[in-house]
Amino acid sequence: MDLVNTGGARDPRDLVIVFLDLSTFTLDARCTDDARLAEFVSDYYERVGRHASLAGGAVVKFIGDGALLVFSPARADDAIAALFALKHEVDAWLGREGWGSRLVVKVHSGTVIAGSFGGHGAGQDRFDVIGSEVNVAARLPTRSFAISPQAFRLLSPTGRRRFKKHTPPITYIPVEDRHPA
């Protein structure tokens, strides 16, 4: 399934929805000149795009240090593996750069309206995903890595062993994390 090529149509789709964000980005960015910051953000985008692509996912959009990604539910295990690898890589890179920021990963699954939005006829339309499930993903409470019960249920038994239940509200966090803070 091509996640982003909808031929201009909008339709309901079940997807794994991921929000990424760099914690304390604003504080770190204040200490970096604009040219270096632009290069830094470009490097970050490249890492995110590469890991998403390797798991069959797609970057819907970047907004500063934030990103919205989608994956096929059939590839939920691949998506989680890619997101763990991305978090490890980005956190290590940030540490080497002397930044205090870390990658925050929020994963949910549900039905969204996916397709082309905006500037029809002006060549400015773009793929996006819209709906309450996108908002659920964005609001998952974590400062590290969390997945919703809906995303957790998509995982194989092996994939599920990477997480433990955390409440309230219920999310699943990596086994090695003590708590989401």
Distance (Å, rounded) from C-alpha 74 to C-alpha 148?
Answer: 16
pLDDT value, residue 6: 64
- Within-domain flag for 35: yes
- Within-domain flag for 167: no
- Within-domain flag for 165: no
**Which domain covers residue 49, as residue numbers?**
10-143
Question: Domain tally for the chain?
Answer: 1
- Within-domain flag for 173: no
- Within-domain flag for 26: yes
pTM, two decimal places? 0.89
Q: List all residues 6 or more positions away from 1 whose beta carbon is below 8 Å from its beta carbon.
A: 72
pLDDT value, residue 177: 83
Distance (Å, rounded) from C-alpha 150 to C-alpha 86?
Answer: 22
pLDDT in single tens digits along all 181 residues of the chain: 578 776 668 999 999 999 999 999 999 999 999 999 999 999 999 999 999 999 999 999 999 999 999 999 999 999 999 999 999 999 999 999 999 999 999 999 999 999 988 866 666 788 999 999 999 999 999 999 999 999 999 999 999 999 998 876 677 888 888 765 5
CATH code for the domain in which residue 55 is found: 3.30.70.1230
